[in-house]
Amino acid sequence: MNDFKPEQADVLIGTAEKMIDLWTRLTPEKQEALLARFGTQENALAALVTTHLLTAANS
């Protein structure tokens, strides 16, 4: 198991909270479409975050 420093743990927890918030703000239809495409909520959220990061980097 990995040991995290308190600062690293805070970042991980904050990221998880943001991902949960993002998922709950999606419409049920969007959630269903993402689950159909990516298989799991974790994969769907990873795709959303990656897309967001790439979009921000290209702006």
Task: Please write the tens of the pLDDT for every residue from 12-38.
Answer: 888 888 888 889 999 999 999 999 999
Contacts of 44 (CB under 8 A, 6+ apart): 23, 31, 34, 35, 37, 38
pTM of the model: 0.67
Task: Return the structure tokens found at 6.
Answer: 């308190």
The predicted structure's pLDDT at residue 30: 94
d(CA 31, CA 3): 33
The predicted structure's pLDDT at residue 39: 97
d(CA 42, CA 19): 9
pLDDT-derived band at 1, boundaries 50, 70, 90: low
